[in-house]
Amino acid sequence: MNSSINQLAKTYSELVARLKVDQYEVPLNLADEGRLVEKAYQSGLSHNPEFQFTPVSEQAIDELLQFRITMTAFDNPWVLLLATTVDYMIQTLMDCRAHNSTAITTRTVAMFGDVSAATLGVAETELEAPYAATTEESNLDAKGLADVFRRALSAVSLTDWSITVEPRMNAMLDVSSERREIRIRGGSLFGRTMVTRLLVHEIGCHVFRSASGQRQPMRLAGFGLGDYLSTEEGLAAYLEDKSGLYDAVDSRRFALRYLAASCALEHGFFDVYKELRAHADHTQAFETAARSKRGIADTSQPGAHVKDKVYFEGLKLVSDHLKEHPDDLPLLYTGKVSLSMLPLVRESIGRGELNQGEFQPEQIPLLLATL
């Protein structure tokens, strides 16, 4: 049975690598609209961007639908998690044909959960607290960071991963398990402390968990299925904190994303942007607001892509869990699994489907030694 499921995992990986579903949510005219929003704000006017997007490939939808049918032959909890993930991807592509705010809100709330008034209050308190911004010079460009990452991956024998620099991305960095790829947004600049954090966060968490999972007898553990994301980002922040690298800038950035997701549910883009400007400069406020309206064409409408809220929620969830259950940390490195999957992880270990992950937090110093 494992060989059949692993073939399913291989097919899934190849599909995601080729289709790149997230490309349809990134506006083509992001920079132009950013300038218009800033000009309107400075003039006391209002401007809600009308984002333009790459047209969705109907072939991509058909391929995913056909792949989804093949899963009905399996009665396995890992395949059920994969089915949930593929259903979300199919709906994402369908939503990206219309770019409708209501549909995008419904889909993302169903996957990532609604905002919480209590958590929003914590985020607002975080944003109102005084903090010291870093004064470290950022003089390493995206190509330079790519070179650092390549050395770090080589130090732990992960030479089957690639690093690319791309001009158009929602995030500054992105890790794709399916493509075994780290993407860096062109034009970004990095200081030494940030580079150190990124080695811990991007490779020490995201890449390590993916690589461990993809080398398991049950390879689906390496692909980030179901509700994994909150644990994924929370664990990355937890590791930064344990390494003495997590600071107020990180926490404020994630709090700002939570505030944006909450505000976007009820308001159009420019109102979200104005709310964020009370806590951030134009670049950060615009970028964060754009993420909260990801995939939406008419941004004057209320509605949010709420995925980004998990970054702020995740650290507390992971920290609270590991405080009570510290021995669960190695289990979280069996693959890209979530806290809610730990009972399944234990069962899978008992069945011989999973074992001790090949990459663990103890190897993070090997990454840092390459700096």
pLDDT in tens, 291-350: 999 999 999 999 999 999 999 999 999 999 999 999 999 999 999 999 999 999 999 999
Taking 60 as the threshold, does the pLDDT of residue 1 lie above it? no
Kindly state whether residue 18 falls inside one of the protein's structural domains. Answer: yes
248 confidence band (pLDDT: 50, 70, 90): confident
pLDDT at 136 (0 to 100)? 82
172 confidence band (pLDDT: 50, 70, 90): confident
The three-class DSSP label of residue 183 is strand
Kindly state whether residue 55 falls inside one of the protein's structural domains. Answer: yes
Do 259 and 127 touch, CB atoms closer than 8 A? Answer: yes
The closest alpha carbon to 172, from 202, 206, 209, 193, belongs to 202
- At residue 347's C-alpha, the angle toward residues 111 and 85, to 5°, is 20
Kindly state whether residue 318 falls inside one of the protein's structural domains. Answer: yes
What contacts 191, CB < 8 A, 6 or more positions away?
134, 136, 137, 138, 139, 140
Kindly state whether residue 228 falls inside one of the protein's structural domains. Answer: yes
Please state the rounded mean pLDDT for residues 73-93.
96
Total of domains in the chain: 1
pLDDT at 170 (0 to 100)? 67
137 confidence band (pLDDT: 50, 70, 90): confident
Taking 90 as the threshold, does the pLDDT of residue 110 lie above it? yes
% pLDDT > 90, the chain: 89
Q: Which of 39-48, 73-82, 242-251, 315-324 has the lowest mean pLDDT?
A: 242-251
Kindly state whether residue 197 falls inside one of the protein's structural domains. Answer: no
Kindly state whether residue 326 falls inside one of the protein's structural domains. Answer: yes
- Please give the Cα distance from 57 to 61 (Å, whole number): 7
pLDDT at 306 (0 to 100)? 97
Kindly state whether residue 281 falls inside one of the protein's structural domains. Answer: yes
Range of the domain at 312: 2-132+214-364
Tens digit of each residue's pLDDT (9 = 90 or more) over 8-17: 999 999 999 8
The closest alpha carbon to 123, from 244, 280, 228, 239, belongs to 280
Kindly state whether residue 185 falls inside one of the protein's structural domains. Answer: no
The closest alpha carbon to 38, from 293, 290, 295, 263, belongs to 290
- Please give the Cα distance from 182 to 276 (Å, whole number): 29
